[in-house]
């Protein structure tokens, strides 16, 4: 059981296991009359063929406080999207599916691309961005949660805890980040967060700090969590990356746009497991290797906008400082694992740190060369300014794609 301890700049809402899910859901049903709630589910079609999403839909069927669910389907052909419509039809809530590869949504994308307003590359960020645009077009919710579709340990209390801080009218939060322990098969997971982000953030703060953004980022228990919630007006002004820097990029926007008193993190699960990425040590364009490069590059870009000057020499220092801090953390993780009876592969963890150290250097080189091909996607506020009827067009496109299959 966690205690009440608060650390860093962000309020932490703990799960002390003193309250039943039924009691929390009763509150949420009452809150929904004043502050309607929605859920965004970005999904590859392939997730429909895995057991995790079946469990998620089973759990969501029991949720009575949601007014809207928006599901973005990537990498689906005509027959696959038709199957997706049937797959999600058992959801009792109002739900809409975006066929991201459908002809009408692709036409919207082409129009936005001509104006320089479309996402520049496919991926989760693009999927989430279009789902947010559609949710804004519907105009029927005020608080929106988002989570992935590959969560193997999903229970509906995760969603309740994620939305509660935004839905409760007595709270002033505008953004909430979920966190949870990463333990599976008797070992620690969450390697990118533990072995890359935490030591890199601390290395940069040691080298260039104290820096408010780095201290802000280090306040989050799990900065890479794909589960978060926000008020609908926050979605409208949000700019975010299309790549693996999505979660880090959203935190950047929250730090830039809102006081920390409007941000919080919440314990949403006693354990969490999902589909794992390959390490892909030999290919920096795949798996955890690609993820580490894109996350590192996103952090460098943010710090540059705050006036930090990066050079080849300073980045070599960053790599060396990161490496020392990461190795010290490995000692801490190993001792914590032994204390709790978990397995811990020290050699594998140190090899991972060596890969991340090389990828930090590679990310720095890419940043200095300014070859970033995944810039921030424009906010929907900007898109609506350029194309005033874009929300009507988006609603029509989603409906037309659905009718294509009827």
For the chain, the domains span 9-171+378-406
pLDDT over 70 at 382, yes or no: yes
- Separation of alpha carbons 188 and 198, rounded Å: 15
Amino acid 286: pLDDT: 65
Of 5-9, 210-214, 221-225, minimum mean pLDDT range: 5-9
- Please give the backbone phi and psi of residue 115, each rounded to the nearest 5 degrees, phi first: -90, 0
The angle formed by the CA atoms of residues 44, 49 and 52, to the nearest 5 degrees, is: 85
Backbone angles phi, psi at 78, to 5 degrees: -60, -50
| Span 119-131, average pLDDT | 90
Note the pLDDT of residue 247: 87
pLDDT of residue 371: 53
Give the pair of three-digit tokens for residue 398. 């989603």
Beta bridge partners of residue 228, listed in sequence order = 146, 177
Residue 98 has pLDDT above 80, yes or no: yes
Global pTM?
Answer: 0.93
Q: Which of 37-46, 60-69, 183-192 has the lowest mean pLDDT?
A: 183-192
pLDDT at 184 over 80: no
Beta strand spans in 131-212 (E)? 143-146, 175-179, 183-184, 187-188
For residue range 4-36, list pLDDT tens digits in order: 888 888 999 999 888 999 999 999 999 999 999
Residue of 347, 355, 317 whose CA lies nearest to 330: 347
Q: What is the reported pLDDT for 136? A: 98
Q: Residue 374 pLDDT more than 60? A: no
Question: Domain spanning 9-171+378-406: which CATH class is it, in words?
Answer: alpha beta
Would you state the pLDDT for residue 43?
A: 97
Half-sphere exposure of 127 (CA within 13 A, CB side): 27
Taking alpha carbons only, the member of 73, 16, 32, 20 closest to residue 49 is 73
In the predicted model, what is the mean pLDDT of residues 382-386? Answer: 97
């Amino acid at each position: 059981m966690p205690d009440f301890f608060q650390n860093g700049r962000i309020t932490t809402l703990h799960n002390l296991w003193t309250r039943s899910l039924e009691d929390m859901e009763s509150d949420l049903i009452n809150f929904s009359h004043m502050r309607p709630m929605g859920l965004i589910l970005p999904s590859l079609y392939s997730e429909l063929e895995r057991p995790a999403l079946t469990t998620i839909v089973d759990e969501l069927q029991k949720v009575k406080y949601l007014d809207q669910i928006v599901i973005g389907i990537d990498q689906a052909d005509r027959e696959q999207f038709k199957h997706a419509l049937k797959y999600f039809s058992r959801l009792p809530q109002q739900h809409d599916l975006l066929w991201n590869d459908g002809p009408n949504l692709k036409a919207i994308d082409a129009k936005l691309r001509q104006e320089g307003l479309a996402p520049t590359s496919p991926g989760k960020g693009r999927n989430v961005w279009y789902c947010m645009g559609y949710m804004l077009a519907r105009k029927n919710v005020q608080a929106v949660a988002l989570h992935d579709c590959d969560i193997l340990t999903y229970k509906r209390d995760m969603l309740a805890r994620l939305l509660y801080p935004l839905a409760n009218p007595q709270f002033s939060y505008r953004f909430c980040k979920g966190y949870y322990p990463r333990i599976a098969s008797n070992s620690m997971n969450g390697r990118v967060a533990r072995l890359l982000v935490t030591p890199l953030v601390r290395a940069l703060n040691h080298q260039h700090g104290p820096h408010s953004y780095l201290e802000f980022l280090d306040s989050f228990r799990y900065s890479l969590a794909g589960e978060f919630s926000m008020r609908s007006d926050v979605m409208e002004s949000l700019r975010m990356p299309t790549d693996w820097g999505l979660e880090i990029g959203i935190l950047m926007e929250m730090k830039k746009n809102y006081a920390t008193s409007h941000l919080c993190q919440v314990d949403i699960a006693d354990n969490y497991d999902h589909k794992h990425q390959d390490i892909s040590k030999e290919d920096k364009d795949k798996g955890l290797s690609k993820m580490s490069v894109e996350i590192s590059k996103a952090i460098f870009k943010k710090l540059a906008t705050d006036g930090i000057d990066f050079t080849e020499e300073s980045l070599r220092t960053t790599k060396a400082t990161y490496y020392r801090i990461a190795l010290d953390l490995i000692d801490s993780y190993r001792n914590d694992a032994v204390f709790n009876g978990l397995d811990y592969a020290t050699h594998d963890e140190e090899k991972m740190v060596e890969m991340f150290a090389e990828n930090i250097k590679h990310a720095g080189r890419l940043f200095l060369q300014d070859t970033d091909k995944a810039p921030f996607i424009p906010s929907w506020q900007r898109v609506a300014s350029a194309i005033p009827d874009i929300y009507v067009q988006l609603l029509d496109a989603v409906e037309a794609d659905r009718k294509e299959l009827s």
